[in-house]
């Protein structure tokens, strides 16, 4: 049931404040301001590496998770595309653990990667949305995303719930490994707890984002740029746009611009820049200047501080609230999803059932 929404995707975008809140509450104790102890088949403090593998949007959530685990818990992570991981014969030490991320819990390549790790004898956790799914059953432990059923083929709420689980786990890993003090834990848990409220605020930007989508729908190619966790998010933005609007899009690390993609920049290829005002904001401003100097049109997704400090003439600026650093990937997912959604609506495509795609990819 779509309720009063035109599409399941729109409904699922709007459910995010609630399902993020449910998911976080499973991993965090908001009253105590702590992460919950989990019954895991390994100890974070004994690990030397985590292998994270998944497909599509779940892979991009994993790629953001890598930044969190490495930064907060000083724990190295390999984030891999499952179709590559399953054949790569990656050496796994006995002190590694494997985590698989999947909405459906049935994705063939992700399941095959899980079975590879099983043969290698390392502990296995699964971050899945569908309870009782094959991946959930074959893992040693299931770490649920509480997104509820996701009907739209393009993943939205499952993605932000995957991010919520990965962020919570990374904080927990940091606590157990001693890289996060009890005081820092309280601050991080408080910041995560604010995600649903900020997500609700961002949903109110709908009419502005819809107007930007009318502009975007006039182009055939779009480039997304970001640094740090906004780099995988740039790839997620590009994936979302191409799968439902059929506009060709690519996501790049902003620093890679001058190593190739800048050759593509002209007035016919808008560049969507995802750049909150963080410690590397100025670097991204330089990239935007490079784009502007070549006649490229910029759609900037930033916060209030970023909008003040961006010394470029953007075609459009979407201004989000200033949010704590740890939740930026979760909050910045929303304008990315809304932009793809409204662009597809303008293009008149089948938003919930895009051509050639299936919700659950059970064949290789
Ligand atoms: C994109 C999308 C796909 C899935 C991918 C993995 O919007 O939905 O890229 O993320 O097919 O599916 P799951 O998470 O079910 O393993």
Q: Which tens digit of pLDDT belongs to each residue from 177-214?
A: 999 999 999 999 999 999 999 999 999 999 999 999 99
Substitution candidate for ligand 1 out of 7, 13, 55, 237 with most atoms within 8 A of CB: 55
Residue 313: its pLDDT value, please? 87
> Residue 315, SS3?
coil
Give the helix/strand (H/E) hosting 222: strand 221-226
Pocket of ligand 1 (CB under 6 A): 55-58, 102-104, 107, 110, 154-155, 239, 243, 360-361
pLDDT digit string (tens) for 137-153?
Answer: 999 999 999 999 999 99
Q: Token digits for 228? A: 């740090």
Whether 177 contacts 44, CB under 8 Å = yes
Atom 5 in ligand 1: residue holding the nearest Cα:
56
- For residue 110, give the ligand 1 atom closest to its CA: 16
Question: How far is 140 from 122, CA to CA, in rounded Å?
Answer: 10
Give the helix/strand (H/E) hosting 97: strand 96-102
Q: Token digits for 189? A: 């848990």
DSSP conformation class of 36? P
Tell me, in angstroms, the distance from the centre of ligand 1 to residue 356's CA: 14
Residue 248: its pLDDT value, please? 98
Residue 157: its pLDDT value, please? 98
Higher-confidence residue of 89 and 139: namely 139
Express as a percent the part of the chain with pLDDT over 90.
Answer: 95
Beta bridge partners of 272: 224, 299
pLDDT digit string (tens) for 19-35?
Answer: 999 999 999 999 999 99
Please give the backbone phi and psi of residue 68, each rounded to the nearest 5 degrees, phi first: -65, -50
Q: Residue 87's CB: how many other CB atoms inside 10 A?
A: 11
Smallest CA-to-CA distance from 212 within 354, 60, 345 is with: 345
- For residue 107, give the ligand 1 atom closest to its CA: 16
Residue 97: its pLDDT value, please? 98
Tell me, in angstroms, the distance from the centre of ligand 1 to residue 363's CA: 13
Tell me, in angstroms, the distance from the centre of ligand 1 to residue 1's CA: 22
**Whether the predicted pLDDT of 57 surpasses 90:** yes
User: Of all residues in the chain, what percent are helix, strand and coil, respectively (each to 5)?
Assistant: 50, 15, 35
**Whether the predicted pLDDT of 269 surpasses 90:** yes
pLDDT digit string (tens) for 326-340?
Answer: 999 999 999 999 999
Residue 102: its pLDDT value, please? 98
């Amino acid at each position: 049931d779509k309720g009063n929404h035109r599409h399941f995707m729109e409904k699922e975008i709007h459910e995010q404040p609630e399902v993020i809140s449910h998911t976080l509450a499973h991993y965090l104790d908001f009253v105590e301001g702590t992460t919950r102890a989990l019954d895991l088949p390994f100890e974070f403090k004994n690990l030397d590496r985590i292998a994270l593998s998944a497909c599509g949007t779940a892979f991009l959530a994993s790629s953001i998770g890598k930044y969190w685990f490495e930064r907060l818990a000083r724990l190295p992570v390999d984030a891999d595309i499952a179709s590559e991981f399953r054949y790569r014969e990656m050496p796994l030490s006995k002190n590694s653990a494997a985590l698989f991320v999947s909405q459906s819990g049935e994705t063939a390549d992700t399941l095959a990667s899980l079975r590879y790790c099983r043969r290698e004898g390392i502990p296995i956790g699964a971050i899945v949305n569908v309870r009782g799914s094959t991946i959930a059953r074959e893992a040693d432990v299931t770490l649920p995303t509480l997104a509820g059923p996701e009907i739209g083929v393009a993943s939205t709420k499952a993605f932000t719930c995957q991010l919520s689980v990965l962020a919570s786990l990374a904080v927990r890993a940091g606590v157990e490994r001693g890289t996060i003090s009890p005081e820092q834990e309280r601050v991080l848990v408080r910041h995560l707890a604010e995600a649903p409220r900020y997500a609700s605020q961002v949903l109110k930007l709908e009419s502005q984002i819809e107007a930007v989508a009318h502009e975007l729908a006039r182009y055939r190619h779009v480039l997304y740029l970001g640094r740090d966790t906004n780099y995988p998010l740039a790839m997620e933005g590009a994936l979302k746009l191409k799968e439902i609007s059929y506009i060709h899009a690519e996501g790049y690390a902003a620093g890679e611009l001058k190593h190739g993609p800048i050759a593509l920049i002209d007035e016919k290829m808008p560049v969507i820049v995802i750049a909150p005002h963080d410690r590397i904001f100025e670097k991204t401003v330089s990239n935007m200047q490079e784009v502007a100097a070549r006649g490229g049109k910029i759609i900037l997704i930033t916060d209030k501080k970023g909008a003040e400090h961006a010394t470029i003439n953007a075609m459009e600026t979407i201004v989000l609230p200033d949010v704590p650093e740890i939740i930026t990937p979760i909050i910045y997912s929303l304008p990315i999803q809304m932009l793809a959604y409204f662009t597809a609506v303008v293009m008149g495509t089948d938003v919930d059932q895009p051509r050639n795609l299936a919700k659950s990819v059970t064949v290789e």
